[in-house]
């Protein structure tokens, strides 16, 4: 869960580093690993004298103990509560005094912390971040205060947001057994039961250099970054890490639907979320084909869904598709549409179903595939221009089972996708038996804004 819009000597004797050059296709990073297991990735970008410094941990909400949902996100907050050398609440103030900004975010598979500063301030923020990797101090009062902050965050961002509530319930219905079914921020009752000891145990278990990736992007020289990394991160002691145990999903055999009616809803909405493979699936090529499929079906005003539902039939104000292949385990492929005033959900759903059936029956054309690949490949130039994008893409990939070589090979792998692969991926994934339909509805004539409990309903009742 994002906290906001997103929130010395030089040489260390005896540290062995293994260099692994990467192909110059996406970001052309320099990579190496310190003797204590810390992986370092450096992306040079000399367009401006600034730098992004990020530390990614291979742990997230899906790694939490049973009954302790929300502990990964709560620990993210607690990481700002001080060390013996940095008093509670001072971390962000110190970064601000350096003219920079900092934040952190938690997902199912990773937790990351970053600072954006002038390039000549890199050493100072690196010292701060390395310090809290192993030296977090946490008293009971600070823990209680931050836990209350997280509970209020849950109330304001989820409990008071019907769309967020629906999304949470859709994910819980889609994943039957895997920990992706629980919210990253945690369930309210379990957040309330978290203790200081829970946080410290989670911290000691997972926050170690051999479970972390340092990504530095911007106006830097790789050799200088290596010297600083050896100085500040190199002395940190590695730990014996536990395995990342994840429950497996059983076969999906039944379509599901979740409907949420709420007086606060101003506009109805329809979505369908399918279980899908990620980059880490045995057939890696399928993920690239699904990226192309998502672009064709819902990647903007020229996509199939938007043209059919919004332009030609006049049923929707918006229609889109999404697919996020970056996950340690299975992921999702989704479509969504917002009806125009006067159009009811069953009519819109029937139109969406017809478009999905058209894809499955008639297939995607070679011309559509080529246009989609061209649009996707054009995004590479924009990604290279933004130093934060490179750091984010590489950090996310390396915490979810990919390699630097996988990231660098993305343009060539997208270019190699064929119409046959796209159509095969569509047939494999767009299966109602592995899907959850989400319906968000207003409550007409309601005088008091109160949430009605989400209802899991047979799919046939919504058609």
Identify the pLDDT of residue 4. 32
Identify the pLDDT of residue 395. 98
* CA dist., res. 331 & res. 352, Å (int): 21
* CA dist., res. 234 & res. 209, Å (int): 8
Which pTM does this prediction carry? 0.89
Identify the pLDDT of residue 445. 56
Portion of the chain with pLDDT greater than 70, in percent: 90
User: Which segment of 13-27, 281-295, 329-343, 378-392 scores lowest on mean pLDDT?
Assistant: 13-27
**Which residues, in sequence order, are CB contacts of 5 under 8 Å at separation 6+?**
103
Domain locations in the chain as residue ranges: 30-232, 256-462
- Per-residue pLDDT for 179 more than 50? yes
Identify the pLDDT of residue 299. 94
* CA dist., res. 230 & res. 36, Å (int): 10
CA distance to 7, 26, 101, 376, 413, per residue, from 379 (Å): 25, 10, 26, 5, 14
Identify the pLDDT of residue 450. 35
- Per-residue pLDDT for 361 more than 60? yes
Identify the pLDDT of residue 15. 25
CA distance to 31, 81, 347, 353, per residue, from 270 (Å): 44, 41, 11, 11
Q: Kindly state the average pLDDT of the residues 192-220.
A: 98
Query: Do 270 and 337 touch, CB atoms closer than 8 A?
Result: yes
Taking only the tens place, the pLDDT of each residue in 111-165 is 999 999 999 999 999 999 999 999 999 999 999 999 999 999 999 999 999 999 9
Identify the pLDDT of residue 26. 86
Residue written as tokens 């399928």? 286
* CA dist., res. 380 & res. 415, Å (int): 12
What is the CATH topology of the domain spanning 30-232? Cytochrome Bc1 Complex; Chain A, domain 1 (3.30.830)
Identify the pLDDT of residue 386. 80
Taking only the tens place, the pLDDT of each residue in 289-348 is 999 999 999 999 999 999 999 999 999 999 999 999 999 999 999 999 999 999 999 999
For residue 34, how many C-alpha atoms fall within 13 Å in the half-sphere facing its CB? Answer: 30
**Fold: same for 30-232 and 256-462:** yes
By annotation, the residues acting in catalysis are 76
Q: Would you give the distance in Å from CA 246 to the centre of its chain?
A: 17
111-118 and 256-262 beta bridge pairing: unpaired
Identify the pLDDT of residue 378. 87
- Per-residue pLDDT for 412 more than 70? yes
Identify the pLDDT of residue 456. 34
Q: Kindly state the average pLDDT of the residues 334-363.
A: 98
Selection from 422, 423, 427, 428 nearest residue 292 by Cα: 422
Superfamily of structural domain 256-462: Metalloenzyme, LuxS/M16 peptidase-like (3.30.830.10)
Taking only the tens place, the pLDDT of each residue in 51-91 is 999 999 999 999 999 999 999 999 999 999 999 999 999 99
């Amino acid at each position: 869960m994002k906290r906001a819009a997103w929130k010395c000597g030089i040489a260390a004797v005896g540290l062995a580093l293994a260099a692994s050059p990467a192909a110059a296709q996406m970001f052309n990073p320099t990579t190496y690993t310190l003797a204590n297991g810390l992986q370092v990735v450096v992306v040079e970008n000399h367009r401006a004298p600034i730098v992004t410094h990020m530390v990614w941990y291979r742990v997230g909400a899906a790694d939490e103990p049973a009954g302790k949902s929300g502990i990964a996100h709560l620990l993210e907050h607690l990481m700002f509560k001080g060390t013996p050398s940095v008093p509670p609440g001072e971390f962000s103030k110190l970064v601000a005094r350096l003219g920079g900004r900092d934040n952190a975010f938690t997902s199912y598979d990773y937790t990351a912390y970053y600072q954006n500063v002038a390039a000549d301030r890199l050493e100072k923020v690196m010292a701060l971040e390395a310090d809290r990797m192993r030296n977090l101090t946490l008293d009971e009062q600070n823990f209680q205060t931050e836990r209350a902050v997280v509970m209020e965050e849950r109330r304001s961002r989820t409990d008071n947001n019907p769309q967020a509530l629906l999304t949470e319930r859709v994910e819980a219905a889609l994943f039957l057994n895997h920990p992706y079914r629980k919210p990253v921020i945690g369930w309210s009752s379990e957040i309330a039961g978290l203790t200081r000891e829970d946080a410290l145990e989670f911290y000691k278990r997972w926050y170690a250099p051999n479970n972390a990736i340092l990504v530095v992007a911007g106006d830097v020289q790789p050799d200088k970054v290596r010297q600083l990394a050896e100085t500040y991160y190199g002395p940190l002691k590695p730990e014996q890490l536990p395995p990342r145990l994840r429950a497996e999903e059983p076969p999906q055999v039944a379509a599901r639907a979740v409907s949420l009616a709420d007086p606060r809803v101003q506009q109805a909405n329809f979505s369908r979320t399918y279980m899908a493979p990620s980059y880490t699936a045995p057939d890696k090529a399928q993920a690239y084909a699904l990226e192309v499929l998502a672009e064709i079906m819902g990647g903007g005003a020229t996509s199939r869904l938007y043209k059919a539902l919004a332009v030609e039939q006049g049923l929707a104000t918006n229609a889109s598709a999404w697919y996020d292949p970056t996950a340690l385990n299975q992921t999702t492929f989704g479509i969504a549409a917002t009806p125009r005033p006067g159009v009811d959900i069953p009519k819109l759903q029937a139109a969406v179903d017809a478009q999905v059936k058209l894809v499955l029956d008639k297939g995607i054309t070679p011309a559509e595939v080529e246009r989609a690949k061209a649009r996707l490949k054009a995004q590479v130039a924009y990604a290279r221009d933004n130093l934060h994008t490179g750091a984010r893409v590489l950090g996310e990939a390396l915490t979810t089972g990919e390699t630097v070589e996988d990231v660098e090979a993305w343009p060539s792998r997208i270019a190699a996708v064929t119409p046959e692969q796209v159509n095969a991926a569509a047939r494999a994934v767009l299966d109602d038996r592995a899907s959850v339909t989400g319906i968000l509805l207003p409550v007409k004539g309601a005088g008091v804004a109160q949430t009605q409990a989400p209802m899991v309903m047979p799919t046939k009742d919504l058609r």
